[in-house]
A and B are shown apart, each in its own frame.
Chain A
Amino acid sequence: MKLAIKLAFRNLMGAGLRTWLNVIVLSFSFVIIIFMKGVMIGWDHQSKTDMTNYEIGGGQYWHETYDPLDPFTLTGSHAPVPEEFKDEISAGDMEPFLIVPGTIYPQGRLQSIVIKGINPRQSLLLLPSAKLDTATEAIPAIIGSLMAKSLKASTGDQITLRWRDANGTFDAGDIVIMEIFSTNVPAAEAGQIYVPLDRLQKMMMMPGEATVLTFRDGDKSRSEIENWTLKTKGDLTATVDAMIKTKTVGQTILYIILLTLAMLAIFDTQVLSIFRRQKEIGTYIALGYTRKQVVGLFTVEGTMHSILAALLSAAYGLPFLAKMAKTGWTMPIDTSEFGMAIAQTLYPVYSLGLVISTVLIITMVTAIVSYWPSRRIAKMNPTDALRGKLQ
């Protein structure tokens, strides 16, 4: 094996440009696959972190009838905060949110929205709720940049809000935009405004009631509470996992195309080698190689392309991947309208496992692709091979 590696290396170096063209193509596959996989891992990591920071915390209890995808459930999805959570809430490790439907009238237009009541002094989410801790005649509100764009609203603007209280009575008042925040989590801002919880409870005539209870510690063992459904972090990020899984399938097709192109180059080289190097094959046999050993030599030679490609990838790929991990990959279009948790700039995350598994997979595939045409050597007649007679 050691000799085969030595000879294969000499042969590859001696083949010059032919070798390097294959190696360059293969190294692109290495770098692109690692980069794209890194982006996926980065996106997964980033979106889950952002969701934790802006929307779900360590997990949530939902009122049993609450369904964020069904606005008709909002009217009845509220109940007093259970007594057993009072300590956790007063410690700031759990925050109640009251979620109700409403209508807003920006510049005379009518727009249905979701009104979320949030404790202005909460520190569980990164929402700038402290801006709600103010005394104004109008109802103080914070909105996300996507919502602001939709409303064409700026900080300080007053907009009429209409709601229907627990008794079914319609009421209206003005909100004043205290802050416009940016987040990568559309579900935390799209079509919704945040107002102080106690004020919303008064407006809705639902004192001490909430729709969602968000807690900080996701690792703490929790059980179901009557009228409330426990949603773990895993449950709440399942949509992101599903989204990434879908994207991963698409990317896998890209990897397969990339790998196929690189493997075609290797396969082509191997087939050509076997036809063009018949005399050389005959010479190896005349000098004391068995045909199987020559098959081994050609397989090692083909496989070594991927080793050289890995080294070449390390030379230019590592700085590239490191730079991308630092500066990130900025999406060419506005991601806020994607409707999913995705940052404008994605920061790839690479693990040693990712690099090693990619190198191993490509090397294994290269070995198979190199071996496949090389098997033909085992059927060659050495005397014909020595004469370079096509077989």
Chain B
Amino acid sequence: MENTPIIRIEKLVKKFPMGKGEFTALNGIELQFSKGEFAGLVGPSGSGKTTLLNIIGSLDVPSSGEAIVLGRSVGRLSAREAAQLRKESLRFIFQSYNLLAVHTVYENIEFPLLLLNYTSAQRKELVTDALEWVGLTDKIKSKPPQLSGGECQRVAIARAMVKKPSLVLADEPTANLDAANSHNILQTMKTLNRELNTTFLFATHDEKVISYLQRKIFLLDGKVDREEIISN
């Protein structure tokens, strides 16, 4: 793990309109993440972990404060620049996989490469590698509805990792999986984190995920409550 900060969050506040008033989802968050971390935002529902993950992923913007991701302030990016950041450097893994149902496994994994205009030969090579990482080379032509939950999440991981991004944001990635599949998925992520030095940032309240994290940031009512770092 290197000490280069790839995420820097300063005095971040996020408010949502609620009725005639406002609901403060995040209140004065100060955090930094370095390259290669395997960290997680941990907390109960409504603690603000998904909101923070969305802001880091440039899917949302802070109400005040700054979220600087890979050197770019998320709040100041145009829609096009934010899309560019996501396309080139960020990847998401979701609780419900969010695979494109009518596309095959191969096409789902290939998708981010299509957006980046990779050639057909490059795409084939990278997708094949990604399929090998997650052990799904035999499911290449299957479509998501034909796969189990564990397999779907593996496809989502392969899609996230195919271009070897700087940062992977995983929102409750094991919530729909049984224990065996969850451990399997987490092991895969851990291996990719170690071998490719990709930063993984989770939003979770699942004990299984928490047990794998090297750094745990506990959120409560939109604030950082405490932090734990597990030394290797």
Contact = CB atoms under 8 A, between A and B. Distances in A.
A287 B79 contact: no
A288 B88 contact: yes
Contact of A287 (B86, B101, B103): B86
B184 interface: no
Interface in B49-99: 50, 54, 57, 59-60, 79-80, 83-84, 86-88, 92, 94, 96, 98-99
B77 to A, nearest CB: 11
Given A286-B92, A287-B115, A383-B60, A280 B83 contact: no
B102 A11 contact: yes
A286 B103 contact: no
A11 B143 CA distance: 12
A24 interface: no
Contacts of B86: 285-288
Given A287-B112, A288-B112, A292-B79, A282 B98 contact: yes
Given A10-B107, A290-B80, A291-B79, A285 B59 contact: yes
A3 B115 contact: yes
B212 interface: no
Contact of A382 (B59, B84, B112): B59
A75 interface: no
A288 B112 CA distance: 8
Contacts of A290: 79-80, 83
B83 A383 contact: no
Nearest to B117: A3
A283 B88 CA distance: 15
Contacts of B111: 287
Contacts, number: 67
Contacts of B103: 10, 14
In this complex, the interface size class of chain A, counting residues with CB under 8 Å from chain B, is 20 to 34
Nearest to A15: B102
Interface string A306-337: 00000000000000000000000000000000
Residue among B60, B94, B98, B115 having the largest count of chain A Cβ atoms under 10 Å: B98
A279 B101 CA distance: 11
A21 B40 CA distance: 47
Contacts of B112: 287-288
Contacts of B92: 286-287
Contacts of B117: 3
Contact of B102 (A14, A286, A382): A14
Interface residues of B, number: 28
Contacts of B94: 283, 286, 386
A285 B59 CA distance: 8
Contact of A383 (B59, B87, B98): B59
Interface in B109-141: 111-112, 114-115, 117
A372 interface: no
A60 B83 CA distance: 73
B79 A289 contact: no
A232 interface: no
A285 B54 contact: no
A286 B98 contact: yes
Contacts of B102: 10-11, 13-15
Interface string A370-390: 000000000000110010100
A313 to B, nearest CB: 24
A152 interface: no
B83 A289 contact: yes
Contacts of B115: 3, 287-289
A299 B101 CA distance: 19
Contacts of A382: 59-60
8 contacts: A7-B114, A11-B100, A280-B98, A286-B57, A286-B59, A293-B83, A382-B60, A386-B94
Interface of B: 50, 54, 57, 59-60, 79-80, 83-84, 86-88, 92, 94, 96, 98-103, 107, 111-112, 114-115, 117, 143
